[in-house]
Amino acid sequence: MATVPLVAIVDDDADIREALSDLLLVLGLRCRAFDRAEALLTEYQPGVFDCVIADIRMPGMGGLELLQCLRGYGASAPVIIITSDRDPTTRSRALERGAHAFLTKPLADTALLAHLASALARDDLLDDRRPQRPSDG
């Protein structure tokens, strides 16, 4: 039986961390949530995380700096950058530095699922038969 992927969520917004954690759990994925990049780096070990979802703007180290640190450590796990910043220059910088995807908030579940499926090579995440997340209202 294959190991269930572990996704790191790094965002200073508790509501975003909780919503993403809930979504990943509904999808049958494991996750660890961190309120800042430094907290993830403190616990970082090569090969532990299969994917990282990180906000671009956080107190201290931001998502782009985290991405560079992880690559400097030799981490190959895909990094999905999430942000409310819609500046095309920021998007370009993230993708040039090796981000797997650049998504703007509010996140569309379908876009996030598509990039997660690609990052984790898990087409089953897009299966219409998977449990549905309750709507936010």
| 129 has a pLDDT exceeding 50 | no
Residues 24-58 pLDDT 10s: 999 999 999 999 999 999 999 989 999 999 999 99
Give the CATH number of the domain where residue 53 resides: 3.40.50.2300
Residue 37 covered by a domain: yes
Domain span at residue 10? 6-60+68-124
Number of domains the chain contains:
1
| pLDDT of amino acid 22 | 95
Burial 28-63, CB ≥16 within 10 A → b, else e: ebebbbbbbbbbbbeebeeeebbbbbbbbebeebbb
CA distance 61 to 41: 10
Residue 117 covered by a domain: yes
Residues 63-74 pLDDT 10s: 999 999 999 999
CA distance 68 to 130: 34
| pLDDT of amino acid 124 | 77
| pLDDT of amino acid 9 | 98
